[in-house]
Amino acid sequence: MPVFFAGSWLSAVYKLSESAAIIYLPPALGIILINWWGPKRVLPAVYLNAILAGFFWGIGPWYMRPVYALPETLFVLLSWYLFTFRSHGKCWLPDARNLTLFLFWGVVVPLFASMLFLKLLIFWQMGRPIDMVSSNAILGWLREFISNFGLTLPVLYFLTPAMSRHGLLTMHIDTADVRRPFSITRSFLVGGLCLIAIVFSMFVPPEKYWFVYGILSLWFAINYGFGLAILTNSLFLLATYFGSVLDQTGEAGLYAVAPQLVNVYLGTGLLYVFSAITGRVIDDINFARQQITSQVINLERANNELKVANKELDHFVYSVSHDLTAPLKSIKGLVNLSHLTDDLDSHRTYFGKIGDSVAKLEQFIREVLDFSHIKRIEANYQRISLKELVTGILDDLRYAEGFEQVHIDHSGMLVDEIINDKISIKVVLANLIGNAIAYRKTTPGFPCEIKIRSRRRGGEVVIEVEDNGIGIRPELIKRIFEMFFRGTTNSRGSGLGLYIASEAAARIGGSLSVESEFNKGSVFTLRVKIISK
């Protein structure tokens, strides 16, 4: 109500006659607010204000004011019904389609209907003829159109997204299609041009040079798009137009200047509409171009990723089939050998070797499954105990070759509970600990030792697995995280372990690194971010 009332009061200041003002704000405010807050809240206020505003205007006897308030209310209602409700128009005008819908269904049609209604009322009440085409009627019509157009476009376009961000709207807006290319330099440009326009209007009569503003606004639209075009339109309207029109009407009275004013109103009004539409279309084209460019970039990126993945897959299939057939061939050979002898001891030896090959196959398949799990399934962050995890891994490794020969010290695990993806951490640690056992020094009597430590550093948890095993040659250290890379001839694995471990670390946003000295030992370090829930 206060907003509407202020609008009515301001309009009354610019009153031309008992039924006309240079600028009439309440319907424009009504359109804006009904789009923001819906008809139930806004329409009663529009109607009530129109009744009260009758006192500023003093039109007709007081008991007729509720009737005279109807055309204005109808205007706002129709605008909402035709544009927002029926056409599903977006009032923040995100594209040319919504802008034209708004101008036609949101302003032009409701304005025509409410003007006709008002004329009928005046005819019925005062017996004045219903004229909709005289210069005076067209003048009124255009005046209303320009008032609505000049205020609603910039407010709806610029303020709706801001209001939505602050939760001040009753409706939801798609922020995806809100784009505001705006810069300080451009704002200065608009300001400067408006100043020039004001000075220009002081010396040059607008009814002669009205088209200059229109052309300027069109130029703005073409170069800077919709936002600046409508802003310039509104500023030009305020800065030059109303001022000078008011001067003239003050001197000569509304009806005296009407015929020239029709041309001026019509010309500027149309130029402003065209410049707004041009600006909107230019923005849409630019936006579409940007979208296409970014889609092309994304497509190229996806294409490259696909190429890499394809190459990896080729390599993977080749190595997997090799790693699967090698133990199978050895099992086949051992079975053939066992057919050649009836000796029980030999059979035992063959079965033992077959058992080794099966274990190798099993280990390999487990690694491949781990890999597929890590690649396919999203990380599931939960509270986990590192100590429990390590105990479980050691339990699984109990029967691994050489397990009894190493002493495992996990007293350095200072951090126990963390929040992270259990499977990823387990895959990393199982590989690191398994390797530390596998690549121990096999010199008889050598005290093999593995130290597992965990601690906080900055925002990270650092987990280290240190061994005093065979170490890694410096020239190989860069390659050990590659897929299927085996660093030594006595590696019994597939060369997948560390690759999978580094993928698992990357999946949870962590990193895996190594420091190693050949013949002395290695320290593998997993760093993960501390996550708090």
DSSP line for 135-146? HHHHHHHHHHHH
Q: Pull the structure tokens for residue 400.
A: 């691994």
Q: Which is nearer to ligand ADP, 269 or 487 (CB)?
A: 487
> Which residue's entry shows tokens 């690759």?
499
Least distance (Å) between residue 392 CB and ligand ADP: 19
Least distance (Å) between residue 462 CB and ligand ADP: 17
Least distance (Å) between residue 501 CB and ligand ADP: 7
Tell me how far apart the alpha carbons of residues 89 and 287 are, in angstroms, rounded to a whole number: 20
Q: Can you give the C-alpha Rg of the chain in angstroms?
A: 40
Q: Which is nearer to ligand ADP, 428 or 461 (CB)?
A: 428
Q: Which is nearer to ligand ADP, 197 or 472 (CB)?
A: 472
Least distance (Å) between residue 397 CB and ligand ADP: 13
Least distance (Å) between residue 471 CB and ligand ADP: 6
Q: Which is nearer to ligand ADP, 261 or 500 (CB)?
A: 500
Give me the residues that bind ligand ADP (CB under 6 A), please: 431, 435-436, 439, 467, 469-472, 480, 485-488, 491, 493-499, 522
Least distance (Å) between residue 297 CB and ligand ADP: 34
Least distance (Å) between residue 448 CB and ligand ADP: 11
Nearest-CB residue to ligand ADP? 493
Q: Which is nearer to ligand ADP, 264 or 496 (CB)?
A: 496
Q: Which is nearer to ligand ADP, 139 or 438 (CB)?
A: 438
Q: Pull the structure tokens for residue 164.
A: 């939505």
The dihedral through the CA atoms of 37, 39, 40, 41 has a sign that is positive
Side-chain-side CA neighbours of residue 412 (13 Å): 14
- Chain centroid to Cα 114, Å, comes to 41
User: Mapping DSSP to helix (H, G, I), strand (E, B) and coil, where does residue 526 land?
Assistant: strand
Show Cβ contacts of residue 394 under 8 Å, excluding neighbours closer than 6 positions. 408, 433
Closest CA to 280 of 224, 233, 236: 224
Q: Which is nearer to ligand ADP, 527 or 529 (CB)?
A: 527
Least distance (Å) between residue 376 CB and ligand ADP: 20
Which segments of 127-183 does DSSP mark as H helices, in order? 135-154, 160-165
Phi and psi angles of residue 474, each rounded to the nearest 5 degrees, phi first: -55, -35
Q: Are 467 and 517 in contact, with CB atoms under 8 Å apart?
A: no
DSSP 87: S
Tell me how far apart the alpha carbons of residues 160 and 168 are, in angstroms, rounded to a whole number: 9
Q: Which is nearer to ligand ADP, 22 or 496 (CB)?
A: 496
